[in-house]
Structure 1
Amino acid sequence: MKANVLFGLGDLRLADIEKPAPGPGEVLLHIGACGVCGSDIPRVFTKGTYRFPTVPGHEFAGRIVGLGPDTDPALLNRKAAVFPLLPCRNCPYCEIGEFALCDHYDYMGSRRDGAFAEYIVSPVWNLVLAPDSLGFEELAMTEPAAVAVHALRQAGLDVGDRVFISGAGPIGLMLAYWAKAWGASRVMLADVDATKLAFANELGFTDTFNPLDGSAAEWAKSLTGGLGADVAIEGAGIAASWENCLRAVRKLGRVVLMGNPAGGMALSQDGYWEMLRKQLTVRGTWNSSYGSSPRNEWRLVVDSMASGKLNLKPLISHRCTLDDTFEALRMMRERTQFFNKVMILPSGGEV
C-alpha cells in the first residue's frame, strides 16, 4: 500500500509498504480521511516519533474492509472513526476507565504506524461506528472535537456561562461550536493572528479580539458587564495566552489549560496574583474520555454530527492526497498560507 513514512526528522516520504493484516479482535480499515493535527508538525520536523520509520497520523476515519479471526462479520463495510490510543488495561488508571491517563499506552501515529496511509489495522474496541450519512472528513475530526468537549467538561460549563477562548485554531473553533451548542450566553475568541479571527467571523463568531491591539481582559470585561468571563480556556500553549485567560476570567471563575506548549511556560507574579486574589479554579485537560462509560466523548461527537447538532466541515481549509502530504505539512510549518484544518484524502475521499 501507499503510505507517507517518516524515516527521520524532516524526512517524510511516500513509499510502498506492506498492507497490514488484522489479527484476532482487529479490523482492517481503508482510510477515507486523515486530519493533520498541530502536533504532527513538530513530530515530523523537529521532535520525531518514538521510532523510525513510522507512519504518522492519528485523526482519521475509514471503512472496515477486512476482519481478523473471531471478529463480528456485521462490522464489514461499516464506517468508523478510531480512538488512536491503545491502553495497557492493567495500570490503576485503566482500572477506573481513565484510559487517556494510562501509564503504559501505545498510540497510532507516534508510537506505532498511523493513518497517513491507505490502510490501517485497529482493535474493534477502538472503533466508533458511524452511519453512512456521515462523510469521512467529518468523522476524521472526531478526535479533536472530543478533545474540545473534554476541555469544556473540565471547565464545568453551565448554561448561560460566558466563555473566553484564547487561540482560534481548529480546536479553539471546535470549543466555540461546543460552547454555543451547550448554551453559553457569550463565546469570545482571542488570537494574535488576524486571519484566524477573520475566519472565525465567517463562521459566525463575531466576538473576536486580537491581544496585540490592547488588553484582552478589558475587552472581555466590556462584553460581560465589567465582570469578566465565567470560563476561560487556554488553547495556544503560550505563556501570554495563559496570562490573558487568568486576567479575562471573573473572580471565582474557572480556567482550563489545554494548549500544548512548544517551550517553557513562565508565569509572571501578576498572573500568579490573579489566581490567588480571584480564587480561581485552574485545571488541566488531556485527550478525551473513551470507553463503555456513558461519558464516552467520542460517541457524543459522532452522534452530535449525525444529528446535525455539530457541523465541523466548514473548518476544513485544505485538502490533499498522499502524494502532496509533505508539501501540505511544509506549508503549515512555514505558514505560507492561511490554514485551519488540513485534511488528507488517501483515496480521493472515496472508499
Structure 2
Amino acid sequence: MRQAIMSSPGKIEYFKVKAPGELKPNELLLKIERIGICGSDVHVFHGEHPATPYPVVQGHEYSATVEFVGENVSKAKPGMKVTARPQQVCGKCNPCKRGQYNACQNLKVEGFQAPGVAQDYFIVSEDRLVVLPDSFTFEQGAMVEPAAVGAHATSRPTRLNGKNVVVSGAGTIGNLVAQFAKARGAKKVLITDVSDYRLDKAKECGIELTLNVKNAPVEDEIKSCFGDEGFQVGFEAAGVQTSLDLLLANVEKGGDVVILGVYAKNPEVNMYYVGEHELNIYGSMMYRHRDYEEAVSMIAEGKIKTEPLVSKHFPFSEFGKAYKYIDDMRDKAMKVMIDL
C-alpha cells in the first residue's frame, strides 16, 4: 500500500509498504478515504510543533470505509462509513482513571507522536471508532475531528447559555467553536480575525457578528456589538499573542477564557488581568468520545455547517503541494482535503 512520511520539516516521502496484518479481536481495518490538514499539521510541516518528532506519518482527521472487522467487533460492519479518535492513551494514569483521558499523562496522538493515517489502510480499536450516518459525505466525516475540538472547547466553561462570547481566530477551529457556542445557546457570538475571507466564511456558517481587528479599534467594536453587557466568555483559537491579550484585557471581570490555539512560541500571560480581574483560564485539549459523537449528531442535524469550510482537494500523491497551497493562500485556505 502507499504511505506518506514526513521525514523532516517540509519534506514528504512516499513508500510502498506492506498492508497491516492480522486483526486483534477488537480491531478494525479501515480503508482511508479523506484526510484533512489542520493547523497543527502545518506547524509540523514547518518544524514548529512542540511535541512532534521526525520522521512521522501524518493524518489524524479523516473518514474511512470499514474493510474488515475483528471477531469481537459489534459496532461496525464492512462497508460502513466511519472515523475514529486518534488518541492512544494508557488507561492507568490519574487523568485516565478519572475519565480525562484526553489529558493522559502518556498520551500519544496519531499523526504526531504515533503514526497517522497517511496510507491506504489503517488499523484502529473499536473503542475509538465512531460510525457515521450513511448520509454523510467523506468530507463531512473528515470534519468530525475538528468539530469535536469545538464541541469539547465549548463544554469547558460552566455554561454558555445566555452569555456573550468572543472567539478570537476565524480559521476552521475558531469557526467551529463559534458555531458550537451558538448551538449551546450563547446570547451573542462575535468572531474576530485579520482575514475578511475567513470572516465571510463565518457568516456563511451563521455567525452574524464578525470583526476584522486590523480595521477598527477592538474595544470600540466590542462595545458596539455587546453594549454595556460586554462579553463573559472568550475563546483563543488563533495561537497568537495579541489575540490572547485582547481576550484577557476585555473579557468581563470574573469571566472565562478558554485557550485552545497552538502557539509556535509560548505567549506571555498578563497576570494582572488574571489575578486582579479574577479570571478563569481553561485549557482545552482535543476531545473525548462523547465530543466526537456530539459532533456527528450536530453535523447530521444541520446545526454545524462544514461544507463552506472545505477549500480544496489534492490527490494523495500531491501531499506536499497541499502544504504549498496552504502557505501560498494563507488567509484564503480553510480546510484542505487529501483524497485517497
Report the TM-score range of the alignment, normalised by the length of the smaller protein: over 0.9
Between 1:188-197 and 1:254-263, the stretch displaced more is 188-197
- Alignment-derived partner of residue 10 in structure 2: 10
In structure 2, stretches of 5+ residues that fail to align are none
Q: Give the alignment of 1:29-48 within 5 angstroms.
A: 29-47=30-48
- Alignment-derived partner of residue 321 in structure 1: 315
Residues 1:288 and 2:287 are matched in the alignment: yes
Residues 1:161 and 2:163 are matched in the alignment: yes
TM normalised by structure 1 equals 0.90
CA offset digits 1:298-350 (Å, max 9, x no partner): 1111122223332212211111110222101122134467111111121xxxx
Alignment partner of 2:141 out of 133, 139, 142? 139
The letter of the residue matching 2:293 is R
Q: Give the alignment of 1:1-351 within 5 angstroms.
A: 1-24=1-24, 25-47=26-48, 50=52, 52-72=54-74, 75-267=77-269, 271-290=270-289, 296-335=290-329, 338-346=332-340
User: What is the SS of the residue equivalent to 1:279?
Assistant: coil
CA offset digits 1:73-93 (Å, max 9, x no partner): 952222211100011111111
In structure 1, stretches of 5+ residues that fail to align are 291-295, 347-351
CA offset digits 1:220-268 (Å, max 9, x no partner): 122112232121111111111011111231222211111111113023x
Partner Cα separation in structure 2 for residue 306 and residue 22 of structure 1:
34
CA offset digits 1:22-71 (Å, max 9, x no partner): 52121110112111011111212314785544320100121110123544
Partner Cα separation in structure 1 for residue 284 and residue 140 of structure 2:
23
Partner Cα separation in structure 2 for residue 253 and residue 201 of structure 1:
26
Partner Cα separation in structure 1 for residue 255 and residue 53 of structure 2:
42
CA offset digits 1:121-154 (Å, max 9, x no partner): 1111110112211112111111111111111111
Note if contact 1:59-1:144 (Cα within 8 Å) is conserved in structure 2. Answer: yes
Show structure 1 runs of 4+ deviating over 4 A. 47-52
Note if contact 2:311-2:335 (Cα within 8 Å) is conserved in structure 1. Answer: yes
Note if contact 1:229-1:249 (Cα within 8 Å) is conserved in structure 2. Answer: yes
CA offset digits 1:172-194 (Å, max 9, x no partner): 00011111212222110111223
User: What is the SS of the residue equivalent to 1:229?
Assistant: coil
Partner Cα separation in structure 2 for residue 73 and residue 305 of structure 1:
20
The letter of the residue matching 2:47 is T
User: What is the SS of the residue equivalent to 1:303?
Assistant: helix
The letter of the residue matching 1:102 is C
CA offset digits 1:79-132 (Å, max 9, x no partner): 211100011111111112211111122321122321222221111111011221
Partner Cα separation in structure 1 for residue 147 and residue 104 of structure 2:
21
User: What is the SS of the residue equivalent to 1:33?
Assistant: strand
User: What is the SS of the residue equivalent to 2:149?
Assistant: helix
User: What is the SS of the residue equivalent to 2:336?
Assistant: strand
The CA RMSD measured in Å over matched residues stands at 2.1
